[in-house]
Structure 1
C-alpha cells in the first residue's frame, strides 16, 4: 500500500509514505519519504498514532508512538512477527475431602430416681464421618424460651396509599418518656438501617425506644437486609438504586460489594426484602414492580457469594384486586416457613417459598406504609416487625404470632418515633434450644468436652441428681456443640422423674 500526497489533517502540505506486507515472513514495513506537512505542530508524526491495530476482541494491538516526533523523511519502521513459545505442564492432585458426622445415642433420656438420691446413664457420642469430631456438652432448661412479660395490643388505623420508599420527613416531636415495661429476661440484639439518620444502627428489639448508631451509610438506600449462616459480623443488604448486594460490618459499618443482583425482565424493578432460610441454607429476596395498573411482587433466591438472582415466581393470591400487592419484607422461621407483610392490603401473609403462592393470615389492623422490616428471633421463635404505622405517623415495633397473625405492640422505635424508620431489619441471635446453654444443677457429666476419632464413639456418663429436688417431673436438654456443620448443636431431651 502506497500513500502519495496523503492528507489526514488541514495542513499546508501533504505527506508521502508506504506500507509493505511481506507475505513470506509476515513482516510489516512502514516507509516514510516525506513527513513534513508544513505545520510544526503536525510534522514527523506529532499529531499521529503509529502502530498496528487488531480486530475487536483481539488483544494484539501494538503501538509504536503516540503524538510524538518519532518518524522523518527516509526513515522506516519494521514490525517483525515472533513465534510464540508454548509451555505445557501437568500435575496430579489428590483431594482428601471429609467431614465429621455426629451420632448421639440415646436420642433422649427418660429416667427416674427417689428424692434425695441420684442416678446416671451413658450418652454415646459417635462419629460416622471421616474427620475428627470435636464437641462439648452443656445443658438448657426447656422453659427458657418463655416470654418474660405480657405484650400490649395494637391500635387500629385506616388504610391509605402504598409506598415502599422511605417515609417523608415529619415535624419532630418533643422527647417522649418511654412507657413502663416489665423487665425482660434477656435482650434481642438486632441491626437495621435507620432512614431517619441514614445510618446503620443496633438495638434491642424488646426495647426499641433506644437505637444506637453504628455508622453512616452515605447515599445508600438499603431497604433489604439479613444475616446469613449465623454470622452476625456482617449484614447482607441490597441498595435500592444500584441493586448492589453488599455486606456491612456491624462493628464499623464498612461495606463490601459482592455484585449486582439483577432482576429478571418483567419480574420486578426494585428490591424490597431479604430473608435467610437456615433449614436449607438459602437467601431469599422479595422484589416489586409498580406501574400504571398496580403493583406486582416477586420472590427470588440470591447467591450470597455472587449476587446471582434466580426468580422463584410471582407472589400471588394476596393483595387488592385493583391495586395489586407489595410484599415489603419477608422472614423465614427455623423450620423453613416463610411469611411477609403486604403494604397494599395491609396484611400479614404466609408464602410458599417453592412457588411464591401466598395466603392472608390476618389483617395488620393499621395503615402499614413505606419501608418496613421483618425478622424472626430463631432462639425464641418470636417474629419481630419494625413497622412504620402511617395511621399515627411513627415507627413502631411489634411481635407477631405467625399462626394467627396477632400483633402485640412492643414499643415505639427511637427517642422520637416520628423521625425514625427502620428497614433492612435483622435479628442477631442464634436459633434452637441449645443456642444459649445455661446451668441445670441436677445434671452432671463425667466430661464436658473431647474429640472423637472417625468411626469411633466416646461414652459420657450423665448424672441425674435428685438430692435437692422435690418429688415431681423435671425437663431439660443435654446440648452437644460440635464441628459437624450439618448439626452444629445437638439437643438430647431429658425427662427426670423424682419419686
Structure 2
C-alpha cells in the first residue's frame, strides 16, 4: 500500500499537570482549575526509559527587566521529555505506549511529558512537533526541579508516521523587538533597480527592505541604513550613502524563491504600509535573522560587503562580514545570509513517537457480470468482495450508467479555430468540431472533467461549466485570479480525493492552487519553484505531475506545498498549445504541446519515471487542417462512477458492509428483464471503500434481453434454456 496518505490535524487539547502536591490542572495562561466534572488530575514520575535528553549549564540569562546587558549567573537547567501515543481520547489520559498500529483514519492522542531534571525552576515552555506544528508557545507554567508536566494533542492518522517533538523551556522570557535597524555596507551593483532584499526574523516574520529602487544607476561602495525613522524612502533615482525607510516600488515583480518563506511578505511603501516595527515589533529579538537578496532581471550584478542588524531596546546587535555576491539574475550567495543574535532555550529535549497506519486491500471478483435473460425472466450472479489487507474494509455498493469517455477519447478546446473537440488519442490528426467555443475573447488555458461536467477556464478568469457530450455551456462564472502577474495555465482533478488543482504562471514564476468548484474560488497552495508550469495532471495513484515550457522539464508536484521536483527532460522544445491529461483506461499520461523545433502541435505520451516523451502524432493536421493550439486535454479522469444512477434492471442483496481482514463478503446481483424490450443493457456496479489505493472498483454489468423465436413451428436461436422433458 505505497500510496502517500494525508496527515491532517483534527483536534488539539492542552493539559499541564504539576506534581506540586496540589493535583491541580493548569490551563493556558496559568492558574489552577478543575476539569468540567470538578475533578483535579496529577501524573506520576515518568517511567518510560526512552528519555531523549539535552542538558547544558546556563551561564547567562536576561532578567525580567530585559534591560540590555543586565544578566546574572544561574545554575544548571535540564529537562527530559517522553512522547507517547494511544487511542484513548480523554485529554486527561497520558498514554504509555509507543509505537502503536491503528487502522488508517483513526484519531490518536499524543502525550508529551516533561520532567525538570535540573536545579532551576523553568517558567515558559514551547513545544514544536514536526507534523502537528507549534503546540505551545512560551506557555507560562512553573516547572520546579523534580516536577513533571504533560499535555495532549489529537490528530487523525492517514499514513504511517514517525514524528518528532522538541520541548524548549526558559527560566525567563527573552527580550522582544521594539525597533530594528539594518545596515548594508559596501553595496555595489551596476543596475540598482534589479535588487530585491527581504529580511526574515527568528519567528519567520518578513519584510521587503528594498525592491526596484535606484533606477538604472550604479551603487559603488555605498553604505545604506534601513530605518523606520528615516526622513525618506529609497529614491527611484541615484541612491547615495545614507539612511532610508523600507521601500518597494515593484510589488508585482518582486520574488524570493525558497528557502525564503512563501509570500505574502510584509510590504513597505509604496507597495504597502508595513514597517520594520509593525512586522517585527513584539517578536523575539534572540535567534537567527536572515537576509535574502535577489537580482530580478538579467544583465547586471553586484555585491554587499557586510550587513548588520541592531535590535532595541533589547540592546542586541550583530554583523555578517562574509559578503553577499549578487549574480546577474537570481538569488545571491549565500542565500540567505544570516546573523545569530543568540540565545536558545535554557533547556531542551526531543523525542519521537511512531504510529503505523493499517490499510485494507480490496479485490472484487468477477471483474464484470453479464448474462442473457429471456423476456420476463431474471438471472442471478454472485459478486465477491474480499479484503487481504491489515484493517477492516468498509464498502458501499451503488449503480451508475456506463458513461461515454473513460479512455482513449480526449476532450479539448482548439484555440486556433475556437472549437470544442472530442477526439481519438490514437488518431490525433483528426480533431472533429463538436461545437463552436469562442469563449469571451480570451485564451482557453485549462480544463478538466469532474463528476461528468467539463470545467473550462479562460485566461481572463472566466469559468465555464460545459456538457462534455455536446460542448453546450451550462453555466458561466468568474474565479479569482492568481497572485501577481501569473495567469491560469492548467487544471487537474485528483481521482483519489476529488480535489481540483490549478496551475498558474507568468513564465517567470509558477504556483499551485486548489479550486472549489461550488464557489469558483481558487486558494493558493504554494510556489512550484519553476518558471513556466504550463500543464498538470493527476494519475490514478493521486500523484500530481506537470511540465515546464521554459526549462522543458517534467515535474513531480507536492500537492500539500506546491513544490515541483524535476523528474527529467521532456526531450523537445515545448511552447504553448498546452495540456496534460491522464487516461484511466490505459493508465497513460498524455501531453499536448507545440514543438518549436518541428513547428507543429503534437500529442505525446509521458514516461513518469524519466520525464521522457514519445510522439503520438501531429494534432489537427488532417482536421481542421490548420496549425492547431489546444488549451487543455482531459479524459473522464474520475471514472464513470462519479454520478450514482439507479439501474432499474439490476437488484443487489446488500448495498454496504464491513469485510474483516482476510475475509470476504458475497453480494447476490440479479438482472430483471420484466417490461424491457429485446436489446442490450449496460451499466456499472461501483464498489466504494476505505482502501486508499483503490477507492472505487468499477464492475461493468451487461444484460442481453432475448426472446423465444419460432420459425415454422420450430424453435431457433439459443435453446439452451429449454427443457427436454416429455409427458406421456
Contact 2:365/2:385, CA 8 A, preserved across alignment: no
Deviation at 1:297, TM superposition (A): 0.4
CA distance in 1, matches of 2:363, 2:687: 19
The 3-state SS of whatever aligns with 2:562 is: coil
In 2: Cα distance, 1:208 partner to 1:425 partner: 12
Residue number in structure 1 paired with 2:330: none
1:274 aligns with 2:478: no
Q: Which residue in 2 is equivalent to 1:262?
A: 480
Change in 2 beyond 3 A, CA 1:313/1:391: same
Mapped pair 1:489 → 2:697:
yes
Q: Distance in 1 between matches of 2:433 and 2:553?
A: 31
Name the SS for the 2:429 alignment partner.
Answer: strand
- Go from structure 1 to structure 2 and tell me whether the alpha carbon gap of 1:455 and 1:274 turns closer, same or farther (over 3 Å shift): closer
1:420 matched to 2:628: yes
Q: 1:134 to 1:215 in 2, by over 3 A?
A: closer
Q: Contact between 1:187 and 1:206, CA under 8 Å: does it hold in 2?
A: no
Deviation per CA, 1:198-235: give whole Å up to 9, x if none: 11111111210111011111235211111113x1xx32
Distance 2:362 2:533 in 1: 44
Q: Matches of residues 399-418 of structure 1 in structure 2 within 5 Å?
A: 399-416=605-622
The equivalent of 1:468 in structure 2 is: none
1:456 CA drift (Å): 9.2
CA distance in 1, matches of 2:610, 2:541: 17
Structure 1 pair 429/410, CA: closer, same or farther in 2 (3 Å)? same
**1:93-132: CA deviation from partner (whole Å, max 9, x where unpaired):** xxxxxxxxxxx9985789xxxxxxxxxx986559x99999
Contact 2:394 2:689 in 1 (8 A): no
Distance 1:423 1:453 in 2: 41
Q: CA deviation at 1:368?
A: 0.5
Question: Structure 1 480/214 Cα, relative in aligned 2: closer, same or farther at 3 Å?
Answer: closer
Counterpart of 2:35 in structure 1 is none
Note the 1:146-165 alignment, pairs <5 A.
none
Which consecutive segments of 4 or more residues in structure 1 shift more than 4 A?
Answer: 104-110, 121-126, 128-136, 429-432, 453-458, 483-488
Which of 588, 591, 598 is 1:392 aligned to? 598
Greater RCO between the two (CA within 8 Å, min separation 6)? 1
Picking from 436, 450, 462, the partner of 1:228 is 450
1:118-176 Cα shifts (integer Å, max 9, x gaps): xxx986559x999995569x9xxxxxxxxxxxxxxxxxxxxxxxxxxxxxxxxxxxxxx
Map 1:303-314 → 2, pairs under 5 A: 303-314=516-527
What CA deviation, in whole Å up to 9, does each residue of 1:17-71 have, x standing for no partner? xxxxxxxxxxxxxxxxxxxxxxxxxxxxxxxxxxxxxxxxxxxxxxxxxxxxxxx
How many residue pairs are counted as aligned between the two chains? Answer: 286
Are the equivalent residues in 2 in contact too, given 1:187–1:205 (CA < 8 A)?
no
Task: Confirm or deny: 8 A CA contact 2:364 2:383 kept in the other structure.
Answer: no
Q: 1:414 to 1:490 in 2, by over 3 A?
A: closer
Q: 1:410 to 1:134 in 2, by over 3 A?
A: closer
Residues 258 and 335 of structure 1: CA distance in aligned 2, closer, same or farther (over 3 Å)? farther
**Relative to structure 1, is the Cα distance of residues 256 and 221 closer, same or farther in structure 2, using a 3 angstrom cutoff?**
farther
* Counterpart mapping for 1:70-89 below 5 A: none
CA distance, structure 2, for counterparts of residue 202 and residue 383 of structure 1: 17
Q: Secondary structure at the match of 2:433?
A: strand
Can you give the 5+ residue segments of structure 1 that lack an aligned partner in the other structure? 1-103, 111-120, 139-185, 319-324, 436-447, 463-478, 492-499
Q: Does the aligned pair in 1 maintain the 2:486–2:509 contact within 8 Å?
A: no
Q: Structure 2 vs 1, CA of residues 418 and 265 (structure 1 numbering), >3 Å: closer, same or farther?
A: same
1:215 to 422, 425, 435: 435
- Distance of aligned partners of 1:204 and 1:109 in 2 relative to their CA distance in 1, 3 Å threshold: closer
1:461 to partner: Cα distance: 8.5
Distance (whole Å) between structure 1 residues aligned to residue 666 and residue 571 of structure 2: 55
Question: SS at 2:633's partner residue?
Answer: strand
Give CA deviations for 1:366-401 in whole Å, capped at 9, x if unaligned: 210123110011222100111111111111111111
**Inter-partner Cα distance in structure 1 for 2:599 and 2:434:** 25
TM score, norm. by length of structure 1: 0.50
After superposition, the Cα gap between the structure-2 partners of 1:429 and 1:312, relative to the gap in structure 1 and judged at 3 Å, is closer
Structure 1 equivalent of residue 544 of structure 2 = 338
Report the CA distance shift for 1:107/1:418 in structure 2 as closer, same or farther (over 3 A): closer
Match of 1:286 in 2: 503
Task: Describe the SS at the equivalent of 1:399.
Answer: strand
Q: Confirm whether residue 376 of structure 1 aligns to residue 582 of structure 2.
A: yes
TM-score by length of 2: 0.35
Structure 2 partner of 1:300: 513
> In 1, distance between residues paired with 2:393 and 2:608?
38
Question: Residue 315 of structure 1: which of 528, 546, 559 is its match?
Answer: 528
Deviation at 1:353, TM superposition (A): 1.2
The alignment status of 1:251 with 2:464, answered yes or no, reads no
**Alpha-carbon distance in 2 for matches of 1:252, 1:107:** 36
Q: Is the 8 A contact 2:363 2:385 kept in 1?
A: no
Once the 2 structures are TM-superposed, how far is the Cα of residue 340 of structure 1 from its aligned partner?
0.7
User: For residues 345 and 449 of structure 1, do their structure 2 counterparts lie closer, same or farther at Cα, with a shift above 3 Å needed?
Assistant: same
Supply the distance in 2 between the matched residues of 1:258 and 1:356 (Cα, whole angstroms).
28
* CA 360–131 in structure 1, closer or farther in 2 if over 3 Å, else same: closer
Secondary structure of the residue aligned to 2:631 is strand
Deviation at 1:333?
A: 0.6
8 Å contact from structure 1 (residues 134, 452) kept in 2: no
